[in-house]
Amino acid sequence: MSAGSDQQSVRCMVAKVGLDGHDRGAHVIARAFRDAGFEVIYSGLHKGPDEIVQAAVQEDVDVLGISILSGAHDTLVPKIMDGLEEYGAKEDTLVLVGGVIPEEDRQPLKDEGVSAIFGPGTSIEETIEFVRENTPER
């Protein structure tokens, strides 16, 4: 399906995972995605990896954006990736991670299948552009 069809809309999920109550960033991203014309599903706070996976599979999202500021990315993100794989959704879902991710943790996350990591200071335009260019063809 070409992205040019007028019925096609990019479906994104913005997810907060784990014990991390900081959702200002996730809200800003959700709004910006909406204004970019995407359909955004916001997970709400304090979701477990299995809940994120369930929602991502049922909603059949093209893009899963995980916001983590708690430092638990190295345990939570692999759990989500494994869950997606279980449902056969890992391959064609664009997974992004946003938040405070130390430099040395980035490559391991990418090895898990995360497509991009956006740290503090990333412009919203940059993120949206990345989504537009990299949303998997289905």
Partner 1 sequence: MKSNRELFESLLAGEHRALARVISKIENRSPGYRDLVSELYAHTGEADVIGITGSPGAGKSTLVDKLAETYREPGETVGVIAIDPSSPFTGGAVLGDRIRMASTVGDMDVFVRSMSARGTLGGLSTATADAVKAMDAFGKDKIIIETVGAGQNEIDIVRTADTVAVLVPPGSGDDIQTLKAGILEIADVFVVNKADRDGTDRTVQELRDMILLDSGDGYSSGGGNHHSQEVIDAHDDWEPGDNEDRATGWTTPIVETVATRSEGVEELLAEFESHREYLVDSDERAAQVRQRYAEEIRTLLREDVHAMLEAELEAAGGIDDLAESVRRGETDPYSIAGDLLEPVENCVGELRVDEE
Contact residues toward partner 1 (CB under 8 A) are: 1, 5-9, 11, 30-31, 33-44, 47-48, 50-51, 54-55, 57-60, 87-89, 92, 138
How far apart are CB 107 and partner 1 at their closest, in Å?
29
Q: Rounded to the nearest 10 degrees, what angle do helices 73-86 and 49-59 cross at?
A: 40
Distances (CA, A) of 27 to 59, 67, 89, 92, 111: 19, 10, 25, 25, 27
How far apart are CB 35 and partner 1 at their closest, in Å?
6
Backbone angles phi, psi at 55, to 5 degrees: -65, -45
Q: Which residues pair with 67 in a beta bridge?
A: 16, 98
Containing H/E element for 129? helix 124-134
How far apart are CB 84 and partner 1 at their closest, in Å?
10
36 versus 124: smaller Cβ distance to partner 1? 36
49 versus 101: smaller Cβ distance to partner 1? 49
SS3 per residue for 45-71: CCECHHHHHHHHHHHCCCEEEEEECCC
28 versus 119: smaller Cβ distance to partner 1? 28
55 versus 117: smaller Cβ distance to partner 1? 55
13 versus 96: smaller Cβ distance to partner 1? 13
How far apart are CB 18 and partner 1 at their closest, in Å?
15
How far apart are CB 111 and partner 1 at their closest, in Å?
24
- What distance in Å separates the CA atoms of residue 29 and residue 107, rounded to the nearest whole number? 23
